[in-house]
Structure 1
Amino acid sequence: MNNKTLSILSYVTIIGWIIAFVQSKDLTPKSDLVRYHLKQGFGIFLVSLLVNVALSIVVMVVPALYFLSYIGYVIFILWIFGIINAANEQKKPIPVIGKMFEDKFDFIN
């Protein structure tokens, strides 16, 4: 697989991320683009997981706050931005939350 494909795949579910991670280890030379999008993809996965768990608990305790579940659509839109950046082969962070992940996840290097 080429760098662009691996970059896009790093956003497509956690299974896609694992495939991209394993395939990126075989790349010679190592790709900064793939590494960058692996970090962004893993970060958005963690954020979506934490937000969904927190919202599930909040809505279970206070059912009147069900409208907060629309936050999931915001995360979906941010995910789309990540895929678009990967498809354009740009190293741009995901809006709002992407800067947090640029220097995290050292195991990806």
Structure 2
Amino acid sequence: MDKNTIDNGRTAAITSYILGIGVFIAMSMNADSKNSFASFHIRQGLGLTLTFFSLGLLISNFDNIMIAIPMWIFISILWSYGIFSAIKGETKPMPLLGNLYQKWFQSIS
């Protein structure tokens, strides 16, 4: 990926990591230009958001802090990895789930 593509898509890529609404904002930012760097991080951000909500719904049934804390740590580590790779201009998938996010959401460009 060339530097121009990364620079043009960096704002949308970083925005995609704002859990919840950030993915939709980034998708609208990327709707016209279809920047491949931004699309990569939008898929990662969407996957992270869905993982966050899915784990949150699952763990809320237990109502136990000993189960909730590891989920928050897991999501925080993935979020940090994703946002820092967007800031640095890298397209490395997140550990564990990143390749699956790219495969599942490949229609998002």
TM-score normalized with structure 1 length: 0.85
Q: Which runs of 5+ in 1 are unaligned?
A: 60-64
User: Which segments of structure 1 move beyond 3 Å, counting only runs of 4 or more?
Assistant: none
Q: Does 1:69 align with 2:73?
A: no
Aligned ranges 1:1-109 → 2 under 5 Å: 2-27=8-33, 30-59=34-63, 65-70=64-69, 71-109=71-109
- % same residue: 29
1:88 aligned partner, one-letter code: K
TM value normalised by structure 2: 0.85
Q: Which amino acid aligns with 1:83?
A: I
Query: How big is each residue's C-alpha offset from its partner over 1:9-60, in whole Å with a ceiling of 9 and x where there is no partner?
Result: 0111222211110110121xx311111101000001001101011000122x
Alignment size in residue pairs:
102
Q: Is the 8 A contact 2:8 2:35 kept in 1?
A: no
Bigger Rg, which one: 1
Is there any run of 5+ residues in structure 2 with no aligned partner, and where?
Answer: 1-6
Measure how far apart 1:66 and its partner are. Answer: 2.9
RMSD: 1.6
Tell me the distance in 2 between the aligned counterparts of 1:54 and 1:14. 17
